[in-house]
Structure 1
């Protein structure tokens, strides 16, 4: 479906399943399709709300105005359009930053919060990594950047199925328009601007933080810092590189559903 948010941008939104509303927010890639491997496992219990971020996929592509705060407001606008007062929220990487922003600025809209593979403040390693990625994008183009991102984001297991997925992602990068490349650069800069670590002690809803011990993009140290800052938050470790929810969808869904069931 297509939903217009408050500044007139139209977003692609998908709704699957039936039950309590559960928003799934993807990372820097920003695509609702990131969650495809998890949908069959979650849609029997929840009404899943997924969306392409502004500037990504089937949503509108504004040339400016990209920020975590703006993406957070997009989520509340989606919930309003769908008539949903409160929802559970699972956010991975950039989606986890969106979840933190929502928990701080619109806590009445969230019941429970799962923050996956995410950070609350850009430490020196994170800043160096994304400054380098921006430089590669601007100097060498989308394909080189995508190759770097895939290498950093993957675990050690490169099965034939994984190789096919990588080849498809590189083909998409080859066809990236100049506007899309410029938007990607803005989206990476917004990650460096995001800083909510000092505010997290005010988060009051039940929270699960999940990191991967072998994540080369967002270290487990950053996930632990979030869990330590949020009162009562639970911390869990998985494996599979930065894209661990897709690498082990069964294990990730088990963590999420067990947590949600423990906090009705």
Structure 2
């Protein structure tokens, strides 16, 4: 896979679709990689030049010393756009990717066109949630990642989807088990420290907020918080838990496509 060289390592990416089409950046959730978007690619690449990448600490991208910050991850996206000579792009991020999208929309709005924030919040969780997880992962390494993989099934998917669609679930939770413990812990700290509650009202870009009705990590209430503060923002809810792009599948893909092409 191609990679862009940053100051401290390489950022892995895939760029697919017609060379003359508008660019759509896809940003992965904590504990997954760029393949979490595989179900969307056949449709999205009919209309967009799709740029997806492994966030620092994930997949085949660099694992630098932590802790990281969402600003750092956002600047990685800007460096990727610069390296590929892309002045502006649509952006769609899920969970941690949604936090990165918020940072970009607040701090680099001139580089974005339309923004989709999926299964995310202006602030996700608390130090009481994140610190024990960081400590466990740094102490137990790969064993902790395997344990997180098993626990993530219930957080990421509804029980019925986990049972009936195991062929879709297993590859995604497998990404978590394969994630670098150091990279995962460093990004947990980035999510822990991110708080855009006072800043999101400054977003002036067209915004779609996607929620899962069964998402206990970033709830529809978190989605409504964003929509109520960003002028003109739209919201859609799917019967899904945290990874709505996987669970809602074609419905997710079509709704995001309709928004981006509006």
| TM-score by shorter chain over 0.5 | yes
Provide the TM-score with structure 2 as the length reference: 0.89
Task: Tell me if 1:205 matches 2:208.
Answer: no
CA distance in 2, matches of 1:161, 1:103: 34
Name the structure, 1 or 2, with higher relative contact order (CA <8 Å, separation 6+): 2
SS in structure 2 at match of 1:141: helix
- Aligned CA RMSD, in angstroms, stands at 2.2
Q: Which moved more, 1:19-28 or 1:188-197?
A: 188-197
Task: Tell me if 1:151 matches 2:159.
Answer: no
Following superposition, the deviation at residue 4 of structure 1 comes to 1.1
The runs of 5 or more residues in structure 2 that have no matched partner are none
Following superposition, the deviation at residue 182 of structure 1 comes to 2.7
CA distance in 1, matches of 2:204, 2:151: 37
Task: Tell me if 1:2 matches 2:3.
Answer: yes
* Residue-pair matches, total: 255
User: Where does residue 170 of structure 2 map in the other structure?
Assistant: 166
Provide the TM-score with structure 1 as the length reference: 0.89
Contact 1:147-1:170 within 8 A present in 2 as well? no
Residues 168 and 107 (structure 1), Cα distance of their counterparts in 2 relative to 1, 3 Å cut: closer
Of 25, 29, 39, which residue of structure 2 is paired with 1:27? 29
Of 43, 46, 51, which residue of structure 1 is paired with 2:45? 43
Following superposition, the deviation at residue 56 of structure 1 comes to 1.2
Which structure 2 residues correspond to residues 9-158 of structure 1 after superposition, within 5 A?
9-18=9-18, 19-122=21-124, 128-131=128-131, 133-134=133-134, 137=137, 138=139, 141-157=144-160, 158=162
The runs of 5 or more residues in structure 1 that have no matched partner are none
